Structure 1
Amino acid sequence: MSGLVDKLKGKAGKTLSKGDKLPTSGALKEDNPEKGTVDLATLSGKNIIVGVPGAFTPPCSSQVPGYVEHADQFAAKGVKGIYIVAVNDAFTTQAWKEKLGANHSIVHFLADDNGAFSKAAGLDFDASGLLGNHRSQRYAAVVDNGVVQHIFVEDQAPSVTVTAADKVLAHV
């Protein structure tokens, strides 16, 4: 059945699942818009990876502040970093971070500008009708030393249910 669902969604590869290693698709851009500096697959310790369809979109802008607000609680449970990954350029992700006032030391906004990480994780979808290109599905993953411990993926891109910060925090 999942193969049929993947085919209907247009997915050729495997979707990231519990027990999988994060894909090595290259470094994502955080502070340098010309060069990737964060390779999610090589992060040590426990981290949260949050994939969002697009910076500045209303559902994403309502979801992400929960991770900033709960950052101290995540850290108290041993989380070293919370990485917000959007298929946008680094200028956009940094402007979005500033607009949200997301100034917590463990919260990082990353540009997956060409969607390589999202695609390698099998978590991309065609959003060209609304957002102009392929984007990341909305997901949240609890990762320990590059291995997925838990992953939550929304059924619909605008939904923020299983990927809400408080829901993910309960699984850390």
Structure 2
Amino acid sequence: MSSIIQSVLGSVSPLTKGSKLPTTPLKETNPEQATVNLSQLHGKNIIVGVPGAFTPPCSSQVPGYARHADDFAKKDVKGIYVVAVNDAFTTQAWKEKLGANHQLVHFLADDNGEWTKAAGMSFDASGLLGNHRSKRYAAIVENGEVKEVFTEDQAPEVTVTAADKVLKHL
């Protein structure tokens, strides 16, 4: 039955090595206008998908990227983009709360989950977080193409997506 539903609705493959990033723009500082298109970024960048701003696992994971931002820069990383299925007010308040003020670190709002769904990284978190959210992942991308992707088996885990682990793959 699920294969019939997938064929009717169309299933999206999750991000994998060699795949292209979705072209859906995301919101950074303007809550009314999406202005960041991750597929158009130049050079090497890190995309970090998190289930939700202010959640304990996400709030323990993301500061590592800000703390290691200079180390990422030494490996020619141009930017670190944290994508959450939250509104821009929430993602910016979370960035401030975490003190993640490094110029390389950007917090992006995927307020309706379109980018996350297009990336094949959505899961049903309605029991805890009220709707579909992003799987926890980290991707090394270059010029809009995924070079490596690391996805946690369970959303609360922070193992393969920790900043120090991703840094070792650069």
CA–CA distance in 1 between the matches of 2:163 and 2:38?
19
Shift of 1:12: 2.3
CA–CA distance in 1 between the matches of 2:23 and 2:100?
27
Query: Could you say which residue in structure 1 is the equivalent of 2:116?
Result: 118
1:62 pairs with 2:52: no
SS at match of 2:62: helix
1:72 pairs with 2:74: no
Q: What is the one-letter code of the residue matched to 1:108?
A: H
| Farther off after superposition, 102-111 or 16-25 | 16-25
Q: 1:98 aligns with which of 76, 96, 99?
A: 96
CA–CA distance in 2 between the matches of 1:152 and 1:18?
10
Paired-residue identity, %: 74
Q: 1:88 aligns with which of 82, 86, 89?
A: 86
Query: Could you say which residue in structure 2 is the equivalent of 1:46?
Result: 44
1:13 pairs with 2:12: yes
Shift of 1:116: 0.6
1:129 pairs with 2:127: yes
Shift of 1:61: 0.0
Q: Structure 2: which 5+ runs fail to align? A: none
1:23 pairs with 2:22: yes
SS at match of 1:152: strand
| Farther off after superposition, 153-162 or 15-24 | 15-24
Shift of 1:13: 1.6
Q: What is the one-letter code of the residue matched to 2:67?
A: E
SS at match of 2:94: helix
| Farther off after superposition, 15-24 or 55-64 | 15-24
The runs of at least 4 aligned residues of structure 1 exceeding 6 Å deviation read: none
CA–CA distance in 2 between the matches of 1:65 and 1:126?
25
Alpha-carbon RMSD across the aligned residues, in angstroms, is: 1.6
1:157 pairs with 2:155: yes
SS at match of 1:129: helix
Query: What TM-score, normalized by structure 1, do the two folds share?
Result: 0.93
Shift of 1:24: 1.3
Q: What is the one-letter code of the residue matched to 1:110?
A: L
Shift of 1:16: 1.0
Q: What is the one-letter code of the residue matched to 2:110?
A: D
- Counterparts of 1:136-155 in structure 2, within 5 Å, are 136-155=134-153
